[in-house]
Amino acid sequence: MITTVRKRRRSLFTAIPSLLLVLFPGTGISLTATFDQNVSGLRTNNSFGDNIVAIGNFMAVSEDNRVYLYERNGGTWEIFARKNMITSPGSNSDEFGQYVLMPDRNTLIVSDPLFNALTPSGGTNIDQGAVYVFGRDVGGDNNWGLVKQITVTDHQLPNGALSKSLGDVMAYGDGRLVVSAKPGNSAAKFLYIFEKDRGGPNQWGQVPGVKLEGTDVSLSNFAYTLAVTGDTIVVGSPFEGYRETPSSPTDLARGAVFFFGRNQGGADRWGLLPNGRKYAPDGISADYFGRTISISGGRMAVGAIGRDLSASQTDAGVVYILAKDPGGSGTWGFTSDRIIAPDAAGGDEFGAVV
C-alpha cells in the first residue's frame, strides 16, 4: 500500500519548526522529528513534511531542496542508513521536492519547478522546471542514484510562451508520468506525458505532440490535482466556471473534472474523452469541485471543499463518488453517494484531502 500526505500551504508547520508529528491513519505509524533527533541539519522556517510518501517499510519526506529517506525497523522509523537524503542534482532552488512520488519500492520521482534550463537557441529558460527519477541500488547497494533528469523537448506552448514550472503538479500510474507546466506566472497549466519505457527501459521518454489543456484556463487553475488510471488521465480544475446556456450567468469557481484518454483522434494520441468534462450535478458557485481526486479500483472520490450544506454550514465541504463504466466502457459517472462529515460545520472544507 502506498500512503501519501501532501500539503499545498507551506506555512502549516513553520510556526512550530522544531517538531513535526505525522500520523498515518489506521496504520499505527507515526514519525517525530526534531532538530537534534533523526534529522540533522534541519533548518528554521523549513518545509519539512511538505510531501510524504510511504510504501511498505520505506518512506520519503521532503524539505526545502532535499528529500529525507526513512526505513522502518521493528516498528520504529529510522533515517535510512546508507543514504539519508537526496538533494537536487541540477540546481540550488528551494523547490526541489515540491512533489514526490513513489511508483514502487525502487523508484522515487522528485520535481524541481524552478530549475533553469537551456533553450535550443542557447539561452536560458528561467524556472522551466525539471523532474528527477531516482532508483534504488543505482550506484551501489541500497544507494539512491539518479536514473533520469526529465525536461520537456518542446518548450513552445500553443500560445507562443515558453513552458515554465515543470513538475508543479505530478501524477503516476501504469507506467505513465503526467507532469504540469505553465506559461509564465499564469494559473493556466498544460500537461505533458512521459512513459517509463518509451525509448528503452527506464528512459522515461516524452510522448510527442501532447500538451493537454482545459477551458477557461486563465481562471480555472486547471491541473490543480491529477490522477492516472490505465489509459485515462483525470484532471481537477476547481476554479472552472459553469454556464447552463451561453447566455446564462457564469457560476464562478464551481469546479470541474476533466477526463483525457489515449487513442483519441489517432493512435497514441491523447484528447478529451466524449462527455469528458464533469461538473457536480448539484454544484453552485465557489464549490471548488475538483480540488482533490483519489482513485481506487473502479471508484473515484472528488472533493468540493466550498460546498455549502446550509446557511450556517457554508464551506462545509462534500466528497462526491464516481464509478467507472456506468454508461459504457471507459466512462465515469456520478453515483448517488456523497460523503459529508457527520459533525459538519461552516468552514470545515471537508474533502481538502481524499
* Alpha carbons within 13 A on the beta-carbon side of 223: 28
- pLDDT for position 301: 97
Instruction: Say if 21 falls within a structural domain.
Output: yes
User: Which of 161-165, 274-278, 321-325 has the weakest average pLDDT?
Assistant: 161-165
- pLDDT for position 1: 46
pTM for the whole thing?
0.84
Instruction: Say if 12 falls within a structural domain.
Output: yes
The CA–CA distances, whole Å, from 119 to 153, 156, 166, 179, 209 equal: 9, 10, 14, 19, 18
Which residue, among 309, 298, 308, has the nearest Cα to 335 in the 3D structure?
Answer: 298
Instruction: Say if 244 falls within a structural domain.
Output: no
> What are the pLDDT digits (tens) for 106-159?
999 999 999 887 777 777 778 889 999 999 999 998 888 999 999 887 666 655
Instruction: Say if 17 falls within a structural domain.
Output: yes
Q: What is the mean pLDDT of the chain?
A: 82
> What are the pLDDT digits (tens) for 189-247?
889 999 999 999 999 999 988 888 876 654 668 899 999 999 999 999 999 999 888 88
Instruction: Say if 267 falls within a structural domain.
Output: no
DSSP string, 150-182: E--S--B-TTSPBEE-BTSSEEEETTEEEEEEE
Bridge partners (DSSP) listed for residue 258: 235, 277
Q: Does residue 88 have a pLDDT over 70? A: yes
Structural domain count, the chain: 1
All residues at 6 or more sequence positions from 178 whose CB lies less than 8 Å from its CB, including other chains: 170, 171, 172, 191, 192, 193, 194, 226, 228, 233
Instruction: Say if 349 falls within a structural domain.
Output: no
Domain range for 20: 1-87
Instruction: Say if 48 falls within a structural domain.
Output: yes
Band of residue 340 on the pLDDT scale cut at 50, 70, 90: very high
Instruction: Say if 63 falls within a structural domain.
Output: yes
Bridge partners (DSSP) listed for residue 156: 162
Band of residue 22 on the pLDDT scale cut at 50, 70, 90: very low
